[in-house]
Amino acid sequence: MKATFYLIIATIFLGLNFHLAKIILKEVNFIEAGFWRFLFGVGSLTLLGFKKLPSLQLIIKNVKGISLTGFIGLFGFNTFFFLGLMNSSAVNAAPIVSLNPALTILFSHKILKPPINKIQITGIIIAFIGVTYLILKGNITNRSNIQFNYGDILILIANVFFALHHVWVKKYGRTISNLNFTLLTSTCCLIGFSILLPISGMALVTTHTSGFWLAVFGIGCLGTALAYFLWQKGVQITGADKAGIYMNVVPLSAALFAVFFEEHLHTYHLIGGICIVVGLFLSKISTSKS
């Protein structure tokens, strides 16, 4: 139950991130958006764990896992996430994340070698149907009209990196506390965006609106520090393949938060959401039996 709670809360905040990122990207480029996200995220994680910060010896011992998870998995995901959102809407991008469970199971099977459960696959298929229904806006005759723009493709690429992130969290996050592992992998992201920052330039902080800073605080403290901490904790408990199905909560969360960002909910959001919940339920049964 703890893992379920951690993963659902994390994905709720990850769904909110799509809307917060769009607000941030109205005032800065994708590199600076990533910099501010992880500056606030790393700051929050440091405050949370300042009494038990990792030693240099511990970092050196786990440098391979930290680097793979942080620089490739997390930094790769966030780079394409922000770049994709510059060319796609939050409502379009969030459902694409639903492909993440399938990618996670694939990478997990190849890297960690767990068996693939038939009930688990059934849950993923049902949840994917729900997400597809959301994408089609409840009209199955719209399939021929679906067009993936440049931003959608970048979000798909981001999914690949995020799936690898899930697997590496499970593989390398066992020998270091979850808080420290989250802090160190998030620091990798901050370093990556800091290196790229001089290339893109940085706007004067005094020119940003209050809405920008509220969005940065939300995506940094809640959507990064808290979300990644809870997500990685859930992955460590239940495994990357079983945790991946919870990514289907992200488009549902994004749809619900759309109400607060002057967007409208429709019947197809409810029907698609029910399918997502049923898929999660079947996956939970599979997890309990394994």
How many independent structural domains does the chain possess?
1
pLDDT in tens, 206-215: 899 999 999 9
Q: What is the pLDDT of residue 62?
A: 93
- Which range, 52-56, 102-106, 212-216, 260-264, is most confident? 212-216
pLDDT tens track for 78-120: 999 999 998 877 776 777 776 777 777 778 877 877 776 777 7
Percent above pLDDT 90 for the chain: 40
Domain carrying residue 187 = 2-289
Mean pLDDT, rounded, of the chain:
84
pLDDT of residue 70: 95
**What pLDDT is attached to residue 156?**
83
pLDDT of 141 reads: 65
What is the pLDDT, as a whole number, of residue 144? 59
pLDDT given for residue 284 in this prediction = 59
Residue 54: pLDDT band (50, 70, 90) is confident
CA distances from 186 to 42, 72, 101 (A): 6, 11, 22
pLDDT exceeds cutoff 90 at 33: yes
- Each residue of 167-204: pLDDT tens digit? 898 889 888 888 999 999 999 999 999 999 998 888 88
- Asked if residue 72 has pLDDT above 90, the reply is yes
- pLDDT band, residue 260 (cuts 50/70/90): confident
Q: What is the mean pLDDT of residues 39-53?
A: 91
pLDDT at residue 146 tops 90 = no
**Digit-coded pLDDT (tens) for 56-70:** 999 999 999 999 999
Give pLDDT tens digits for 217-248.
Answer: 999 999 999 999 998 889 888 887 677 778 77
Which one has a higher pLDDT value, 211 or 152?
A: 211
